[in-house]
Chains A and B, each alone.
Chain A
Amino acid sequence: MLLRAAWRRAAVAVTAATGPKAAAPTRGLRLRVRDRAPQSAVPADTAAAPETGPVLRPLYMDVQATTPLDPRVLDAMLPYLVNYYGNPHSRTHAYGWESEAAMERARQQVASLIGADPREIVFTSGATESNNIAIKELEAAIQPDTSLVSVMTVNNEIGVKQPIAEIGRICSSRKVYFHTDAAQAVGKIPLDVNDMKIDLMSISGHKIYGPKGVGAVYIRRRPRVRVEALQSGGGQERGMRSGTVPTPLVVGLGAACEVAQQEMEYDHKRISKLAERLIQNIMKSLPDVVMNGDPEHHYPGCINLSFAYVEGESLLMALKDVALSSGSACTSASLEPSYVLRAIGTDEDLAHSSIRFGIGRFTTEEEVDYTVEKCIQHVKRLREMSPLWEMVQDGIDLKSIKWTQH
Chain B
Amino acid sequence: MAASSRAQVLDLYRTMLRESKRFSAYNYRTYAVRRIRDAFRENKNVKDPVEIQTLVNKAKRDLGIIRRQVAEQGTAAGRKSGSRSQSLGKPCTTWP
Contact = CB atoms under 8 A, between A and B. Distances in A.
A349 B75 CA distance: 50
A348 B27 CA distance: 37
B53 interface: no
Contact of A68 (B22, B62, B94): B94
B21 A32 contact: no
Interface string B16-55: 0000011110111111111100100000000000000000
Q: How large is the interface on A (under 10, 10 to 19, 20 to 34, 35 or more residues)?
A: 20 to 34
A34 B81 contact: yes
A33 B27 contact: no
Interface residues of B, number: 34
Interface stretch (A54-62, A93-101, A159-167, A279-287): A54-62
Interface in B71-95: 72, 74, 77-78, 81, 85-88, 90-92, 94-95
Contact of A20 (B21, B31, B62, B66): B21
Contacts of B68: 75, 78
B69 interface: yes
A72 B62 CA distance: 8
B21 A23 contact: yes
Interface of A is mostly: loop
A53 B87 contact: yes
Interface string A74-97: 110010000000000000000000
Interface in A356-392: 361-364
Interface in A208-253: none
A266 B38 contact: yes
Contacts of B10: none
Interface core residue of A23, A30, A42, A55 (most chain B CB under 10 Å) = A23
Contacts of A53: 86-87
B86 A45 contact: yes
A54 B66 contact: no
Contacts of B28: 71, 362
A68 B29 CA distance: 13
A30 B94 CA distance: 13
A60 B27 CA distance: 9
B30 A362 contact: yes
B79 to A, nearest CB: 11
B70 to A, nearest CB: 9
A54 B69 contact: no
Given A24-B30, A362-B30, A41 B86 contact: yes
B3 interface: no
Interface in A337-364: 361-364
Contacts of B33: 23
A74 B85 contact: no
Interface string A30-66: 1011111010011001100000111101001000000
A23 B30 contact: yes
B72 to A, nearest CB: 7
B69 A74 contact: yes
A74 B62 CA distance: 13
A32 B38 contact: no
B65 A54 contact: no
Interface of A: 20-21, 23-25, 30, 32-36, 38, 41-42, 45-46, 52-55, 57, 60, 68-69, 71-72, 74-75, 78, 266, 361-364
28 contacts: A23-B26, A25-B26, A30-B26, A32-B24, A32-B92, A34-B24, A34-B74, A34-B77, A34-B78, A34-B85, A36-B22, A38-B86, A45-B86, A52-B87, A53-B86, A53-B87, A54-B86, A54-B87, A55-B91, A71-B32, A71-B65, A72-B65, A74-B69, A74-B72, A75-B65, A266-B38, A364-B27, A364-B34
10 cross-chain pairs, A with B, having the tightest CB-CB distances, nearest first? A362-B27, A32-B92, A35-B85, A71-B69, A55-B91, A75-B65, A362-B31, A364-B30, A23-B30, A30-B26
